[in-house]
Homo-oligomer: A and B are copies of this chain.
Amino acid sequence: MSHSQLGESYALTSVDVALPPMERFEEYLQAKGKRITQPRRILVEHVFSKHEHFDADALIEELAQRDAGPKRVSRPTVYRTLNELVEAGLLRKMDIGGRAVYEHDYGYPDHDHLYCTQCGKLSEFHSEELIRLRDAVGREQGFRVTGHKFIVNGTCQECQRKTRRQKRKVDLI
Residue among A133, A157, A160 facing the most chain B CB atoms (10 A cut-off): A133
Contacts of A134 in B (CB 8 A): 152
A137 touches which of B141, B147, B152 (Cβ 8 Å): B152
Q: Are B10 and A1 in contact (CB under 8 A)?
A: no
Q: Which residue of B lies closest to A135 (CB)?
A: B152
Q: Tell whether A36 is near chain B: CB-to-CB under 8 Å.
A: no
Q: Which residue of B lies closest to A114 (CB)?
A: B143
Contacts of A146 in B (CB 8 A): 117, 153-155
Q: Which residue of B lies closest to A2 (CB)?
A: B2
* Interface segment out of the listed A12-20, A63-71, A79-87, A94-102: A94-102
Q: How many residues of A contact B (CB 8 A)?
A: 43
Q: How far is the CA of A98 from the CA of B157 in the complex (A)?
A: 28
Contacts of A54 in B (CB 8 A): none
Contacts of A153 in B (CB 8 A): 145-149
Given contacts A2-B2, A2-B5, A95-B95, contact A160 B144 (CB under 8 A): yes
Contacts of A33 in B (CB 8 A): none
Shortest 6 CB-CB distances between A and B: which pairs?
A2-B2, A142-B157, A145-B154, A144-B155, A147-B153, A146-B154
Q: How far is the CA of A68 from the CA of B143 in the complex (A)?
A: 40
* A window 49-92: CB within 8 A of B: none
* Interface segment out of the listed A23-31, A39-47, A123-131, A165-173: A123-131
